[in-house]
Structure 1
Amino acid sequence: MTITQLKYVLAVAEHQNFTLAAEKSFVTQPTLSMQIQKLEDELDIQIFDRSKKPIRLTEVGKKIVEQARSVVSESERMQDIVDQQKGFIGGEFRLGMIPTIMPTLLPMFLKNFIKKYPKVQLKIEEMNTETIIEKLTEGHLDAAIAATPLKNDQIKERPLYYEPFVAYIPQNHRLSKEKMITADDLDLNDVLLLQDGHCFRDGVINLCKMKQADRNEHFQLQSGSFETLIQLADEGLGMTLLPYLHTQNLQEDVRQNLHHFTEPSPAREVSLIYHKSELKMQIIEALRETIAGVIRGAIAFTDVDIISPLQKK
């Protein structure tokens, strides 16, 4: 039994296809198939049911895959120990970011990070929270930046900052004359939301004292763009809430319609998250320090009394 064989098993389990798994593993399909067959013969069990399309794990195969993940993870930890001993910060690092954070946060820290740590090969991908959790759990991401808390025992969370919500209220709206607003002023029927799947949407719904099921939607909006929400608000279709960092890039005429909340200000906790196995911690720590350094001057709200909409019931 070899680590390579276990990695091939994990690849087939993920892609449910020998050809695709071989391609992702950078080997020929016959080589991958032969190695998996050798492992099955050694263990005297069948890991995959090849009669099904797509290929599926057998019952014992599911247990083998879980154990294989642990073994491969521990084998990678050995290289981590060596890197930390040598003070080496480099190699491939796969980072996930949710869509409502990536466009504003990434430009703030990326240049600084790659300049300071040129040996790190960052692979950054935008994805929703559900996908991030899945990929972290399966070992396909090294870390991610997302809104927390997630309440997942497999994932550790390191808060980076607390980002206040800011209301965008057009001139003809009922709240347009209010200099400051409160969460009690919000009516979910009146708030334009991002499409399902965005945790920012969930935070807004939790902030409003109303269930999503009770919302009277006059139209269905499938958009992940804050710009679209602003344009719809300007057309008289309601108001919307924006994350604070996003408001810093808006045009001056748009910024005139921004309204802040009274304290405690609703805000989302943004964290650097990673698997409990804590692999590549030297890169994770370098990333955390870099982001903390650039965000400190951008958000002066970390000491302000806040409420976290994701924690509200």
Structure 2
Amino acid sequence: MTITQLSYVLAVAENQNFTKAAQKCFVTQPTLSMQIQKLEDQLDVLIFDRSKKPIELTEVGKKIVTQARNIVNESYRIQDIVDQEKGFIGGEFKLGIIPTVMPTLLPMFLNNFVKKYPKVKLKIEELTTEEIITRINDGHLDAAIAATPLENDTIKERVLYFEPFVAYVPQNHRLRDKKTLETSDLEIEDMLLLEDGHCFRDGVINLCKAFKSHNDDKFQLESGSIETLVKLSNEGLGMTLMPYLHTLDLNEKDKKNLHYFSEPSPAREVSLIYHKSELKMQIIEAMQDVISGVIRGAIAFQNVQIISPISK
């Protein structure tokens, strides 16, 4: 049994196809098939049910894949040990970032990080929290930046900052004349929301006490971006909530529509998250250090109440 064979098994389990798995592993399909066949012969079990289209894992195959993933991840730790011993911070690092954090945080730290750690080859993807958790557990992401806490036993979290919610209240809205808002002022029925799948949407829903009385038949608008929500709000279609860093890019006219909450301000916790196996920790710690350095000057809020990003 070899690490290579186990890696091939993981590739087929993910792609459910021998040809695609071989392409991902940069080997020929016969080579990959032969190595998996050798492993099955050695174990005297079938890992894959080849009669199914697409290919499926057998029941024992599912257990083997779980253990294989642990073994392959642990094998990577050897290189980590060597890198840490040498003080080397470099190599490929795959980072996921949720959509409501990507446009504000990434420009703040990316240039600094690249200049400070030129040997790190960053691969960054914009992904939902659900996609991030799946990819971290499958070994396809080294870390991610997401709203927390996630209450996931396989994921570790390092808090980067707390980002308050800010209300965007257009002209002629019922809350327009209130200088400071209370969370009890919010009503989900006149709230413009991000589309399903965004954890910030779930945070807003969790914040709105009136959600329990929400009627799905009532008029409601959803969008894929906060920028679009602001434009819809300006058309008088309702108010919306924004993460604080998004308010910094508004024009001066739109900034007049911002309303802040009384303390403790509702806020989201944004963290650097990674698998409990703690691979590539030297890069994770370097990234945390850079982000913490640039974020201090942008967010001065301290007295906050963390709103869960988990859909309830």
User: TM-score, structure 1 length as denominator?
Assistant: 0.96
> What CA distance in whole angstroms lies between the structure 2 residues aligned with 1:34 and 1:212?
57
Match of 2:12 in 1: 12
Deviation, 1:216, is 4.4
Deviation, 1:308, is 1.5
> What CA distance in whole angstroms lies between the structure 1 residues aligned with 2:36 and 2:161?
45
Report the 3-state secondary structure (helix = DSSP H, G, I; strand = E; otherwise coil) of the residue aligned with 1:147: strand
Residue 308, structure 1, aligned to residue 303, structure 2: no
1:5-45 Cα offsets, whole Å, 9 max, x none, are 10010011011111111111111111111111111111111
The 5 Å alignment of 1:170-209 reads 170-209=170-209
The 5 Å alignment of 1:48-87 reads 48-87=48-87
> What CA distance in whole angstroms lies between the structure 2 residues aligned with 1:213 and 1:134?
33
Aligned-partner residue type, residue 307 of structure 1: Q
Deviation, 1:221, is 4.0
Match of 1:153 in 2: 153
Q: Which runs of 5+ in 2 are unaligned?
A: none
Report the 3-state secondary structure (helix = DSSP H, G, I; strand = E; otherwise coil) of the residue aligned with 1:236: coil
Report the 3-state secondary structure (helix = DSSP H, G, I; strand = E; otherwise coil) of the residue aligned with 1:96: strand
> What CA distance in whole angstroms lies between the structure 2 residues aligned with 1:54 and 1:222?
35
Distance 1:62 1:184, change over 3 A: same
Report the 3-state secondary structure (helix = DSSP H, G, I; strand = E; otherwise coil) of the residue aligned with 1:278: coil
User: TM-score, structure 2 length as denominator?
Assistant: 0.97
> What CA distance in whole angstroms lies between the structure 2 residues aligned with 1:13 and 1:235?
49
1:111-141 Cα offsets, whole Å, 9 max, x none, are 0001000000001001100111111111111
Contact 1:205–1:212 (Cα < 8 Å) also in 2: no
Match of 2:168 in 1: 168
Report the 3-state secondary structure (helix = DSSP H, G, I; strand = E; otherwise coil) of the residue aligned with 1:211: helix
> What CA distance in whole angstroms lies between the structure 1 residues aligned with 2:100 and 2:212?
20
The 5 Å alignment of 1:154-303 reads 154-211=154-211, 214-216=214-216, 218-219=218-219, 221-301=221-301
Aligned-partner residue type, residue 68 of structure 2: A
Distance 1:213 1:135, change over 3 A: farther
Aligned-partner residue type, residue 259 of structure 1: H
1:125-183 Cα offsets, whole Å, 9 max, x none, are 01100111111111111000000000001000100000001100001111111111110
1:273-304 Cα offsets, whole Å, 9 max, x none, are 00000000000000000000000100011xx2
Contact 1:13–1:57 (Cα < 8 Å) also in 2: yes
> What CA distance in whole angstroms lies between the structure 2 residues aligned with 1:12 and 1:225?
36
> What CA distance in whole angstroms lies between the structure 2 residues aligned with 1:284 and 1:215?
43
Aligned-partner residue type, residue 143 of structure 1: A
The number of residue pairs the alignment matches comes to 311
Q: Which runs of 5+ in 1 are unaligned?
A: none
Deviation, 1:212, is 6.0
